[in-house]
Amino acid sequence: SIAKAVEIRMKTATLSPGKQYLSREAATALVERAMVKAESSCDGGEAFTFRHDPRLNWPSIQYTTREQVEGILRDVQCSTCLIQADDGWPVPRQAQEA
C-alpha cells in the first residue's frame, strides 16, 4: 500500500549518518511520484513497482581529490558564509574550517 511505502521511505532516511529525517509530506510526494501500479501480485492483491532514473547509477563523469577541492576553496576570492543545519549530514569540524 502507499501508506506502507511512505513509512518505509521515511525510515530509510534514518539509516544515514547524522540526524537524517524525511517528513511524511515529503515521503508521500516521493512515493506517489515513483510508484506505478503493477499488473498483478502473486497473492492476488495490489502490486506496485518503483520507477527511477537509471542515469542515477551511471558512473560520475568528474572525480576530485580532497586536495583538489581544498585548492579550489582556497582560491575563492570573495566573502563566503557557511550555513549548516542542526540536523543533517554530519561534517567534521576540521572540514568546515578548511
The model carries a pTM of 0.57
Confirm if 98 and 70 have CB atoms less than 8 A apart.
Answer: yes
With cut-offs at 50, 70 and 90, classify the pLDDT of residue 64.
very high
Q: Which helix (H) or strand (E) holds 36?
A: strand 35-37
In angstroms, the CA 84 to CA 16 distance is 17
Average pLDDT over residues 30-46: 79
User: Side-chain half-sphere of 23: how many Cα atoms within 13 Å?
Assistant: 4
Query: Does pLDDT of 49 surpass 80?
Result: yes
Confirm if 90 and 22 have CB atoms less than 8 A apart.
Answer: no
Helix (H, G, I), strand (E, B) or coil at 35: strand
